[in-house]
Amino acid sequence: MCHYRIRLLPVASFPQLPEVVVRELDEKGCMIPQTYEAHGPENVISGSFEKPGSNDWAALCSVKGMTTLYVFFQSDFSHPIQLRHQPDNKWLGVEWSFAYGSAWGILTVPARVMPRADNLDHDGIQDAFVEQSSVIHYYDHGHWTSLNGDD
């Protein structure tokens, strides 16, 4: 029998978040899922995701068994972009003997280390199934594109 436990942290665990982003996440009832290998609060990131020099944020948000990846552009924090969502238990990884934890993690990826880096001028969001696969979401001129991550 497979058992799993998704560790969730309240939004208040991320004091670096701008107040308007905290308010948006709290209004949605978000808890932040942690990967099975987490040693500190994770899955809330900042970077220049919209354009060079912007101070944007992204967070995983778990509500009633579903997790959504939200992106908050500094230009309009009060209207987050829902990049994708899936059930909390879709991506699991071994946490301890006979039990599994979340294996969904996000990281900021600087343009200089992304594939096709010569054409990119701001950060991307690595969306990873820990130790399995990843994709990098990159926002360019009003559209999101996906680049292969370093699997």
Average pLDDT over residues 33-39: 85
Average pLDDT over residues 120-141: 91
Which H or E element spans position 119?
none
Count helices and strands in the chain by DSSP H and E runs: 1, 13
Give the mean pLDDT of 27-33: 97
Average pLDDT over residues 32-48: 92
Look at the block and give the residue holding tokens 């579903």.
Answer: 66
Residue 71 has pLDDT above 60, yes or no: yes
Average pLDDT over residues 89-114: 75
Mean pLDDT, residues 108-133 taken together: 88
pTM beyond 0.85, yes or no: yes
Place of tokens 């997790």: 67
> What's the whole-number average pLDDT of the chain?
88
- What is the predicted pLDDT for the residue at 97? 53
Domain with 102, as residue range(s), is 3-148
The total number of structural domains that make up the chain:
1
Query: Where residue 100 falls among pLDDT bands split at 50, 70, 90?
Result: low
